[in-house]
Amino acid sequence: MTSVNDDSRVGAAHVGRLLGMALLRIRAEILATTSERFPGLRVSHYRLLELIPPDGARITDLAEIATMTKQGLGQHVDYLQRLGYTTSERLPEDRRVRLVRRTPLGDEALAYSQAAIARVEERWSRQLGPDRYESFRQTLRELGAD
Amino acid sequence: MTSVNDDSRVGAAHVGRLLGMALLRIRAEILATTSERFPGLRVSHYRLLELIPPDGARITDLAEIATMTKQGLGQHVDYLQRLGYTTSERLPEDRRVRLVRRTPLGDEALAYSQAAIARVEERWSRQLGPDRYESFRQTLRELGAD
DNA sequence: TATTGTTATACTCTATAACTATA
DNA sequence: TATAGTTATAGAGTATAACAATA
């Protein structure tokens, strides 16, 4: 009775579980290589830092890009701003709007997380060979765009 | 300023985002095809139903298989039991142990979610062709086992 | 003493509803 | 009135700590 289902083996796992395991690895790699240098930043914050263009963006636009509510996104922005990773200012021509920008510290944190992702991509590319890895990425792109 | 980063395009998305998008599709497909028939069951519950072998399992073992704490897993088991998808009984030979089993309703719900996953797999297999799809699955297996 | 499972509590992520300030 | 953003609240998922019952 303490045995597990056959499906719990990696070989028989369904595609949802396989995708989930791969995703967990990336998240773990990001945190492992950033958490000491940028304590308090979590994966969700790196995702938001990635979405901010160099000249800044409005909360409403970021929320749409992130497919989140502006309330939820605003909470992350407040958090990042408190820690010094973003700044924001009201637009003079429309003072309802808050333009959010990364600080230099935010740029640095983003570069770190992108380097972590790049390391995973390089490891996977070495493991599979560049052709198979590029083919894997291409498949993911097609499945995401269907 | 309302433009988005280049990386927000699917084509340039990093592998973490690509994996996340594919995973969201599967989760949405499971819920879309089960929520009417099994209201109250969420994706996390289907995952747990999958892990229970036909002859039952202990909470501690399920927690290990699921890589969750036994507290967290026990909460899901309580929920499923309240809705009639699982039952449990203390073992006579060790009354600390609760043996968790799926009910016939739990079997039915599990079959439904597995059918939903199978439909995604078939759709993806048609979309990519069976060879490319099997190669994609094989790559995911290798990345999950590294 | 060690193990199984529970209770209490908290954190993360995200959502909905109601609101304020500005246009 | 409409829009940008905020405040308040809640639910989903999961974690840690302290505990009770049993071995």
Q: For A27-52, how does the pLDDT look when each residue is reduced to its tens digit (9 = 90+)?
A: 999 999 999 999 999 999 999 999 99
Among B3, B22, B142, beta carbon nearest to A140: B22
Q: Do B13 and A144 touch (CB under 8 A)?
A: yes
What are chain B's domains? 16-145 (1.10.10.10)
Judge if the beta carbon of B125 is closer than 7 A to nucleic acid strand C.
Answer: no
**Global pTM?**
0.90
At A50, give phi and psi (nearest 5°).
-65, -30
* pLDDT tens readout for residues A88-129: 999 999 999 999 999 999 999 999 999 999 999 999 999 999
Residue B11 touches partner A, C-beta closer than 8 Å: yes
Burial class (CB in 10 A: 0-12, 13-18, 19+), B103: middle
**Which positions 69-128 of B are in contact with A (Cβ < 8 Å)?**
99, 114, 117, 120-121, 124, 127-128
Query: By 3-state DSSP, what share of chain B in percent is helix, strand and coil, each rounded to 5?
Result: 65, 10, 25
Q: Which positions of strand D lie within 7 Å of protein CB atoms?
A: 3-8, 12-18, 21-23
Amino acid B11: pLDDT: 63
| Nearest alpha carbon to residue A140 among B25, B27, B44, B122 | B25
Band (A6; pLDDT cuts 50, 70, 90): very low
Residue A23 vs residues A36, B7, B20, B45, B104: alpha-carbon distances, Å: 21, 18, 7, 20, 33
Amino acid letter for position B87: T
CA distance A56 to A54: 6
Amino acid A77: pLDDT: 98
Q: Do B56 and A7 touch (CB under 8 A)?
A: no
In angstroms, what separates the C-alpha of B60 from chain A's closest C-alpha?
A: 10
- Whose tokens are 């043996």? That residue is B99
Judge if the beta carbon of A94 is closer than 7 A to nucleic acid strand C.
Answer: yes
Q: Tens of pLDDT along chain B (146 residues)?
A: 434 444 445 667 899 999 999 999 999 999 999 999 999 999 999 999 999 999 999 999 999 999 999 999 999 999 999 999 999 999 999 999 999 999 999 999 999 999 999 999 999 999 999 999 999 999 999 998 76
